[in-house]
Amino acid sequence: MKLKGRKALVTGACGFIGSHLVERLVEGGVRVRAFVYYNSFNRRGWLDTLPGEVLSEIEVVSGDVRDFHCVKKAMEGAEVVFHLAALISIPYSYIAPESYVDTNIKGTLNVLQAGREIGVARLIHTSTSEVYGTAQYVPIDEKHPLQGQSPYAATKIAADMMAQSFHCSYGLPVTVCRPFNTYGPRQSARAIIPTIICQLMSNKTILSLGNLHTHRDFNYVQDTAEGFVKIAEADQAIGEMINIGSGDEISISDLVETIGRRMGREINVEEEERRLRPYASEVYRLCADNRKAKNILGWTSKIDLETGLSKTIEWFERNKDRYKQMNYHI
C-alpha cells in the first residue's frame, strides 16, 4: 500500500529517529499526527527544530504511551501507526528497570490493543539489534536467538513478542522493524558517535569512552527512516521481523580513529570504568544480515559511514550549544 495521502500516527515523534521519520513522511505526502511525551513546558523535543514548512503540516498531540485511553484517542483516524516511543538508554535501564517495563512493554501493549480496537491498516513496531545480544554468528539474521543482556534489551524482546502475538492471535497487521545502530543529526549525546564528536569539539583528547573492542553496524538516520517507510508500504512485510542494517561492521576503536581523522584531531583515548557495561551485559558484536530487507522491501542503506559521519560532524559543530559536551550521559 502507498502511504501518500494516508494519515499516520508516529509515537515517539519528538525523539531522534522519530523526528527524522516525521520529516520523511511529510515529504512523502503523508498526513502526520505526532504523538509526543507530555510535559508542562510544552516542549516537543526535536520537532521544535524542524523547518516551519514541515511543522505546519503536522498535527502534534501530547500524551503518554503508558496510558491506554490517551494512546487510543491519539490513534483515532490513523490508518498507519509507527510505534517508536520507548526508553532506550542501556545504562539507565540498570538503574530504573521498572520504568522500562512500564514504557517499553506496557506502552507497546497499549499501542497494539488500541490498534486492534480501531482497526488500523498497518502497525510498525520498533525493535532494536540489542535484542540479539552478542552475536552467536554473523551476519545476524532474523532467526538469530534473542538474548536479554540488559533490562532494556529484555523489555524490547518482550515488546517484540507481544507485537508478534497480536499478529498471530488477532490478525493485527504488524511488522517488527529492527534497526541496527542508527546515528546522525539530533542524536542524544549518550550515544557513542555524538560522545566522540562532542568530546573532540572541546579537546584534542577524548577523555573517556567505554569498551573500545566492540563492533557495531552503523546506519545513517535517513536510511533508517526510509526503512520504516518501505516496511509500511510492503504488504509482504506483514507479520515479519525485518533487520534494517548496512551489513558492515566497525570496531569502536576504528570508529574513533575515523572520526578523529575527519575532524583533524589527534586522539588519546582512555577507557573509563563507569562507562563500561557489566561484563555479562556487554554486547561485543552486531552486524546485520539485511537480505530480508533487500528481498521484501527493496531496501539497502544508501549513505556510507564516511559520508554519514561527515554530515553528522557538520551538524554537531553547527549545534554544539545544544549539548553539554564533556558531561557523561547515561
For 187-225, the pLDDT digits (tens) are: 998 899 999 998 888 776 666 788 889 999 999 999 999
Same domain, 119 and 93: yes
Residue 276 has pLDDT above 90, yes or no: no
Quick one: 88 and 24 in the same domain?
A: yes
Same domain, 61 and 206: no
> H-type helices in 234-324, by residue range?
252-263, 291-292, 305-318
Q: Is the model's pLDDT at 62 over the cut of 70?
A: yes
What is the pLDDT at residue 67?
Answer: 98
159, 225: one domain: yes
The residue type found at 154 is A
Is 132 within the bounds of a domain? yes
Cis status, amide bond into 173, omega within 30 of 0:
no
**Enclosing domain of residue 177:** 7-183+218-244
For residue 25, which of 9, 38, 44 has the smallest C-alpha distance?
9
327 band by pLDDT with thresholds 50, 70 and 90: low
Q: Are residues 165 and 290 in the same domain?
A: no
**Within a 13 Å sphere around the CA of 253, how many CA atoms are in the beta-carbon half?**
7
Domain assignment of residue 143, yes or no: yes
- Domain final position from 244, 260, 283: 244
Give the C-alpha separation, 135 to 29, whole Å: 39
Task: Tell me, yes or no, whether 232 lies in a domain.
Answer: yes
Q: What angle do CA 21, 27, 28 make, to 5 degrees?
A: 90
pLDDT at 15 over 80: yes
In a domain, 2, yes or no: no
If phi > 0 it is left, if psi is from -120 to 50 it is alpha, else beta; for residue 171 that is: left
DSSP 3-51: -TT-EEEEETTTSHHHHHHHHHHHHTT-EEEEEEE--TT---GGGGGS-
Task: Please tell me whether residues 239 and 282 are part of one structural domain.
Answer: no
Whether 1 maps to a domain, the answer reads no
Please state the three-class secondary structure of 169-228 as a single string: HHCCCEEEEEECEEECCCCCCCCHHHHHHHHHHHCCCEEEECCCCCEECEEEHHHHHHHH
126 and 60 belong to one structural domain: yes
Closest to 328 measured CA to CA, from 209, 204, 156, 167: 209
- List the CATH number of the domain containing 304: 3.90.25.10
Q: For residue 69, what are the CA distances in angstroms to 59, 78, 114?
A: 18, 15, 8
- Pair 223, 295 in one domain: no
The count of domains in the chain is: 2
% pLDDT > 90, the chain: 85
Q: What is the pLDDT of residues 81-128, one digit of tens each?
A: 999 999 999 999 999 999 999 999 999 999 999 999 999 999 999 999
Contact between residue 257 and residue 107 where contact means Cβ atoms under 8 Å apart: no
Question: Do 228 and 292 share a domain, yes or no?
Answer: no
The pLDDT value given to residue 211: 87
> Is 178 within a domain?
yes
269 and 305 belong to one structural domain: yes
Calpha distance 91→329 (Å, rounded): 9
Contact 243, 301 (CB under 8 A): no
Question: pLDDT tens for residues 124-177?
Answer: 999 999 999 999 999 999 999 999 999 999 999 999 999 999 999 999 999 999
Give the separation between CA 41 and CA 228, rounded to whole angstroms.
Answer: 30
Whether residues 121 and 136 fall in one domain: yes
Mean pLDDT of the chain: 94
| Confidence tier at 326 by pLDDT (50, 70, 90) | low
For residue 165, what is the domain's CATH number? 3.40.50.720
**92, 114: one domain:** yes
Give the N- to C-terminal CA distance of the chain in Å, as an integer.
Answer: 39
Q: Is residue 318 part of a domain?
A: yes
Q: Give the residue from 250, 234, 248, 229 showing the smallest Cα distance to 292.
A: 234
329 within domain boundaries:
no
